[in-house]
Amino acid sequence: MRMVFRWFGKGNDGVSLRHIKQIPGVEGLVWALHDIPAGEAWPVDRILEVKQQADEYGFHLEVVESVNIHDDIKLGLPSRDTYIENYKQTMRNLAKIGVKVICYNFMPVFDWVRTDLFKPLEDGSTALFYEKSKVDGMDPLELVEKIAHTPDFTMPGWEPERLKSLKKLFIAYSNVSTEQLWDNLKYFLEQIIPVAEEYDIKMALHPDDPPWEIFELPRLMISRENIRRLLKLVDSPYNGITLCSGSLGANHQNDIPAMIREFHDRIPFAHIRNLKIYENGDFIETSHRSQDGSLNLYEIVKAYHDCGFNGYARPDHGRHIWDEKCRPGYGLYDRALGIMYLWGIWDSLEAIKKEANSSINTKTI
């Protein structure tokens, strides 16, 4: 397991590279050029600028999250070919600095949905919260109007220009069925994967968050069956997934350890986080500790360990603790604690493995 840490750029989220350097076992940054609109090619000079910043602290930049997909590609419009060519050029430019994995998503309109960014937990910390009944009863066009009339409204990973076009997006996607979205994803992959193979960059599609239909929009990456379908669209080791335990785990029917064991050779990147699921379908993100949430992170990490996972992993969202002012879900402190919990599990599994091998060798002698 190769531990990496998501960083939103110099001066962007209050987390400095000096801070990240002090977290044991972190070897690289998960990064992106967040100000480049979806569909535009990433300039080499901007990529090299980030590399220079990372080099100063000895971090690699082998994982990018995300190179966002232009909506014309998801919608299957004639203009998609232009944006796909720009995407290919971005891949070539990223290869110049040794990028090995691109995490991306194919979610219509919203990359993720929560109803409260700072919901209080019993211990006094706050976390991202999803209230199912509120989302189920929400008119998406009313939501659009609310966003339009809320000054300085922002969403991580969203460009202001895209927020202004939400109404048009909802109308455009109203004519796209689930099967059409699958067809558009296949078209994209058939164009992209040959470039990925040429430049040794693995594409890692992120699950939908949450993993069910919202606002009557089609959703693809929501289940084990659908992951199988994705991997068959273009059967190449360069067509893979970012297995996010928190996204898929919001549906208790998704068996995360079983997914890891089945798809391990197509998981170049892992997001590991925990959440507590309530009986009414609500969920809130918790600490990484298994006892604090509904997911058994010991069994999740054990599945990776048993499969000999040597891909990249990062602690995903964490709580906001110790009065830290931070980007929702991305506080420094709880993610650092999460890393130490994950390493504790991994190191204990390594010790068990070493002891077992030693016992076998002794019996052989």
Active site residues per annotation: 206, 244, 271, 316-317, 330
User: What is the C-alpha to C-alpha distance for residues 256 and 253, in angstroms, rounded to an integer?
Assistant: 9
Residues comprising the chain, all counted: 365
What does the buried/exposed string (b/e) look like for 191-205 if buried means 16 or more CB atoms within 10 Å of the residue's CB? Answer: bbbebbeebebbbbb
Question: Cα–chain-centroid distance for residue 136?
Answer: 24
CB 243 within 8 A of CB 270: yes
User: What is the C-alpha to C-alpha distance for residues 72 and 31, in angstroms, rounded to an integer?
Assistant: 24
Q: Which two tokens stand for residue 190?
A: 């058939």
Instruction: List the beta bridge partners of residue 276.
Output: 284
Using a 10 angstrom Cβ sphere, with 0-12 exposed, 13-18 middle and 19 or more buried, the burial of residue 125 is buried
CB 269 within 8 A of CB 313: yes
Helix axes 178-199, 80-95, angle to 10 degrees: 30
Closest listed residue to residue 276, CA positions, set 159, 145, 147, 125: 125
φ/ψ of residue 64, rounded to 5: -110, 135
- CA dihedral (25, 28, 29, 32) in degrees, to 10, reads -160
Phi-psi bin for 247: left (phi > 0), alpha (psi -120 to 50), beta? alpha
User: What is the C-alpha to C-alpha distance for residues 352 and 365, in angstroms, rounded to an integer?
Assistant: 20
DSSP-derived pairing of the beta strands 269-272 and 60-65: unpaired
Q: What is the CA radius of gyration of the chain?
A: 20
